Amino acid sequence: MLTDTIAVTTGFFTIHLPIKDHILSRETARLVLIFRKESAGWKITHSSISIPYYLVREGEVYPLKELTDRNQKLEEVIAERTIQLSEANDKLQQTNEELTMEIALRKLAEEALQASEERYRKLSDDMPLYISAFMPDGTLTYVNNALAELEGVEPDKLIGVNFLSMLTPDDLAKLNKQLDSLSPEQPIETHVQVRKRQHADDRWQQWTNRAFFDDKGCPVSYQAIGQDITERKQAEEALKLSEEKFRLSFMTSLDASYWCTLEDGKILEVNPVFDDVFGYARDEVIGRTSLELGLYVDPDDCARMLSELEANGPIKDLELKGRKKSGDLITISLSVSKMLIKDQQYILGVIRDITENKRKEEEKKNLEERLLNAEKMEMMGKMAGRVAHDLNNVLGVLSGYSELLEERLPTGNPLRQYAANIQKSSIRAAAIVEDLLTLTRRGVRVMEPSSLNRIIANLFTTPEFDKLVAYHPDVIVKTNMAKDLLNVSGSPVHLEKTILNLVSNAVEAIIGKGEVEIKTENRYLDKAIQGYQTVKEGDYVVLTVSDTGKGIPVSELKKIFEPFYTKKSMGRSGTGLGLAIVWGTVQDHHGYIDVQSIEENGSTFTLHFPATREESEGKVTPKTPFEQYIGHGELVLVVDDVEEQRNVATAMLTQLCYQVDAVSSGEDAVEYIRSKKADILVLDMIMEPGIDGLETYEQIIQVNPHQKAIIVSGFSETERTKEAQKLGAGAYVKKPYLKEKIGVAIRDELARE
């Protein structure tokens, strides 16, 4: 520390410092420094040690060398300390400059902050939002004009007021909970509340509270900003109500409805009817497109629909072909519209399954056509009947007189040949009259069990068939006849005429070489099939005549059964009554006819005649002796959902000396076996509704593992039939079956170990 005096002269000053002199063993010496002021600062120009004269003692010796060395060392230390002092002085000067600058900047910042606060305050005062600031104890420090106007007072009147005392206990508790939730990490919270008003409607408000904390995390002040959102809430409520109405309408629509994006077509929502129409559950379609699901039979229909929607706007009742999950095809009516929601485009689609309506329309149209055709046929039949009646009178005279004339003329008389020709012509004319009578539905007088196989075999021995083959030697006529064919109830004469007409048309449709096939088979239909006519369910004997000829144009198909319609050369063959006779005969036998034809690829005529299990005269004796498949009083349970089939089976098996019970479903069969015993089941494979034959047998063998059964069905043998047989069921018998066939199958199964 500097002590004593500092001597300063012009351009110089002297500093006296006390030092401890170990050489002199006393603290009497003084250090003398002389500084020069230069541009770079103060510089030492002289240093020395002096001893005041009044302290010098007589006789004391001062070693000069040691004093000189010490003085030199002291000068070095002083030089080092001088440098350090100079550096410290420079730093102090720099710090002073920086501090001066910082003070200036802080002053500018404070001025700017003050100006900013003024602008913010002015902005806050003019904003339509409700803005306030308050202390933790609830004292208001700022209120803008909008909030003051809401409260009905001047802003200055609210400053310094503790607003917490103005709140109800419930509102105070809510506010404290909201403020307590704030923290330095989460200083902001937003909530919506209803402001109750005594003489006006309640108002919805949204408030945002912000807390300001000190270094210790304690709140020092709060800011609250609010706004009236009543109109927005009302709009939201209206939108919510509208959406709820739309959702209710969407979900309860009687038509299938879906909602998807326009951009990628992904389905966002479907209603329950969508499942009913297409068979897809909601979870199976959400997030997928109609093309991925294969809802369009023709995928191009989707692109065409979108193009039309883009070009012409909403589409109504666009008729398309759709595909269900099961693969079944349906006809749909599609209505779509485009909607824009939050800048995103969507498609709302409504689908109506009109398959049944189209079927009914088609059925109605076909019925009207058939009715018109029937009326036409009836009119022409009446006309033909009248002509036939008159012709019969004429033919009676011609035939009678020609016969008398031939008998009276002697053998060898050339006039006998004339009489014979008249007789032959009368016979041919009588055949035409018979055809005309068929058109009047008076041609079939005898209905008896008849075998189509035998009628076809007889046809091949007739002169008419021989003549037909002679005219067309390059046409091969072949047969494919079922060996166990059931009989039909009808007139063999008319049936033979029908088959001959079909074969004649088939042969004459072939130019050059070709083939005609005559096929017979038993067929059981468990549901109606659509064709030229609708064929009802039941047992049928089916006759098919097909050729490889030139086919029938589509435009001509509906005319081919009209009387006198023909495309044949005049005078060569036919009268134009051939197919009309076929039509009339089929109707007389309560049958159905179907025609399939492709130009240049031939035609196929398929006739369905109701089957009968009555035997015709001359029926070939069964190969299996009756004694070998007759029953011995065993109990047979017939399980079939079709009453007629149960009745037929019961009658057959009763004749075969079995006891018979019958039930109409698989469920009833299971319950029957739970309480009773049956020696064998005759189990239908296809039963609707309810469980089928396989499921029935699976449940029955759980009750009786050794239960015997045979399987019957109108369908070909299926995998489910084989599964039942793997479980223990016996033979498979296809419907319709004969008494011998079902009897042999039962005896074989009962005998099987």
Residue 565, in any domain of the structure: yes
Structural domains in the chain (count): 6
Q: Are 651 and 725 found together in one domain?
A: yes
Q: What Cα–Cα distance (Å) separates residue 430 from each residue in 389, 396, 586, 721?
A: 11, 9, 21, 54
Q: Tokens 């009083």 map to which residue?
A: 633
- Single-letter residue type at 479: T
Rounded CA-CA distance 486/524 in Å is 11
User: Sign (positive/negative) of CA torsion 428, 432, 435, 437?
Assistant: negative
Q: Are 326 and 394 found together in one domain?
A: no
CATH number of the domain that residue 694 is part of: 3.40.50.2300
Tokens representing 401? 């007189």
* Residue environment code for 51-68, b if the CB has 16+ CB neighbours within 10 A, otherwise e: beeeeeeeeeeeeeeeee
Q: Are 133 and 84 found together in one domain?
A: no
- CB-CB contact of 525 with 645 (8 Å): no
pLDDT > 70 in the chain, percent:
73
Name the residue among 210, 223, 226, 209 with its Cα closest to residue 150.
Answer: 226
CATH number of the domain that residue 571 is part of: 3.30.565.10
Which residues, other chains included, contact 226 with Cβ-Cβ below 8 Å and sequence gap of 6+? 129, 130, 131, 147, 205, 206, 207, 208
Strand partners, 518: 479, 545
- Single-letter residue type at 254: L
Rounded CA-CA distance 78/84 in Å is 10
Residue 439, in any domain of the structure: no
Count other C-beta atoms under 10 Å from residue 225's C-beta: 18
Which residues, other chains included, contact 6 with Cβ-Cβ below 8 Å and sequence gap of 6+? 13, 14, 15, 16
Q: What is the DSSP letter of 486?
A: P
Rounded CA-CA distance 147/157 in Å is 12
Rounded CA-CA distance 429/422 in Å is 10
Q: Tokens 């209505």 map to which residue?
A: 335
Residue 108, in any domain of the structure: no
Q: Are 459 and 607 found together in one domain?
A: yes
Q: Are 50 and 133 found together in one domain?
A: no
DSSP annotation string for 656-668: TT-EEEEESSHHH
Rounded CA-CA distance 387/226 in Å is 104
CATH number of the domain that residue 196 is part of: 3.30.450.20
Q: Tokens 């006891």 map to which residue?
A: 659
Q: Are 690 and 719 found together in one domain?
A: yes
Q: Are 281 and 372 found together in one domain?
A: no
Q: Are 282 and 400 found together in one domain?
A: no
Task: Burial-class residue 150 by CB neighbours within 10 Å (0-12, 13-18, 19+).
Answer: middle
Which of 182, 205, 228 corresponds to the end of one domain?
228
Q: Are 318 and 238 found together in one domain?
A: yes
Q: What is the CA radius of gyration of the chain?
A: 59
Q: Tokens 């198909």 map to which residue?
A: 557
Coil, helix or strand at residue 652: helix
Residue 382, in any domain of the structure: yes
Which residues of the chain have a pLDDT value below 50?
1-17, 19-28, 56, 442-445, 532, 569-573, 619-621, 716
Residue 441, in any domain of the structure: no
Rounded CA-CA distance 101/113 in Å is 18
Q: Are 653 and 592 found together in one domain?
A: no
* Residue environment code for 116-144, b if the CB has 16+ CB neighbours within 10 A, otherwise e: eeeeeeeebeeeeebbbbbeeebebebbb
The pLDDT tens digits of the residues spanning 119-132 come to: 666 666 777 888 88
CA dihedral in degrees (191, 192, 196, 202; nearest 10)?
170
Q: Are 187 and 304 found together in one domain?
A: no
- CB-CB contact of 321 with 358 (8 Å): no
pTM (predicted TM-score):
0.38
Rounded CA-CA distance 133/142 in Å is 5
DSSP annotation string for 363-416: HHHHHHHHHHHHHHHHHHHHHHHHHHHHHHHHHHHHHHHHHHHHHHSPTT-THH
Tokens representing 9? 């002269």
Rounded CA-CA distance 646/664 in Å is 8
- Phi and psi angles of residue 568, each rounded to the nearest 5 degrees, phi first: -80, 165
H-helix or E-strand spanning residue 330: strand 329-341
**Do β-strands 203-213 and 709-713 pair in parallel, antiparallel, or remain unpaired?**
unpaired
Residue 498, in any domain of the structure: yes
H-helix or E-strand spanning residue 305: helix 300-312
Name the residue among 343, 344, 342, 322 with its Cα closest to residue 331.
Answer: 322
- CB-CB contact of 464 with 507 (8 Å): no
Which residues, other chains included, contact 509 with Cβ-Cβ below 8 Å and sequence gap of 6+? 547, 549, 550, 551, 602, 603
Which of 210, 228, 246 corresponds to the end of one domain?
228
Name the residue among 167, 110, 121, 174 with its Cα closest to residue 144.
Answer: 121
Strands, sheet with 12-18, edge to edge from the N-terminal-most edge strand = 6-9, 12-18, 30-38, 41-50
Residue 696, in any domain of the structure: yes
Query: Domain containing 153: what range?
Result: 127-228
Q: Tokens 């058939």 map to which residue?
A: 370
Name the residue among 130, 192, 125, 136 with its Cα closest to residue 163.
Answer: 136
pLDDT of residue 544: 92
Give Cα 614 to chain centroid, integer Å: 52
- CB-CB contact of 253 with 273 (8 Å): yes
CA dihedral in degrees (61, 66, 69, 75; nearest 10)?
-50
Rounded CA-CA distance 419/406 in Å is 5
Residue 619, in any domain of the structure: no
Q: Tokens 């066939």 map to which residue?
A: 741
- Phi and psi angles of residue 436, each rounded to the nearest 5 degrees, phi first: -65, -40
Tokens representing 578? 């051939």
Q: Are 527 and 491 found together in one domain?
A: yes
Which of 353, 369, 400 corresponds to the end of one domain?
353
Q: Tokens 């065409």 map to which residue?
A: 304
Tokens representing 557? 């198909």
Rounded CA-CA distance 506/512 in Å is 13
Q: What Cα–Cα distance (Å) separates residue 164 from each residue in 150, 604, 706?
A: 17, 98, 89
